[in-house]
Structure 1
Amino acid sequence: MVEVLYFAWVRERIGLPREKVETSAATVAELVEELKAREPRYEAAFADLSALRVALDQDLAEFDAPIEGVREVAFFPPMTGG
């Protein structure tokens, strides 16, 4: 079980700020594929992974990163300074 957090427009498209997900995924990319298969709102949110960043337990990671032992996966758009 992993807690998945959604921020900014990702949260708007999915309609949830967070959820607990039972997954058999080994990597972030596999988790994304499982989520996309759920329903169209997830497919829309994860349609362009180049427009997304991911953090595992609050550390930036890549989509090929393993998620074994991870408690929290967060998806968000790239941040810009200001």
Structure 2
Amino acid sequence: MRPGEILPADAPAPRAARGRTATIAIRNAGRFDAYLTSHVRLERASAALEFDRDAVAGARPLLPAGASTRVGAGETVEVEVTWS
């Protein structure tokens, strides 16, 4: 093996352990699309997004690092969130 060499595994990498999860409905009451990114806590999301912010305090969308979910203007989407 050489420094920096990558050895592929026979099986997919295990998912990271996670804490509590839930699925919530988020409605975009604004005129423009809004995006929820993987690293932002939901209480800091756009004010145009309607959901129970107190119930999800400290949670973030359960998405891979760097990913986002689009919520179109006037749309409602279900998003899985995690407290980890």
Task: Please give the TM-score of this superposition, normalised by the length of structure 2.
Answer: 0.30
| Structure with greater helix share of residues | 1
The alignment's TM-score, normalised by the length of structure 1, stands at 0.30
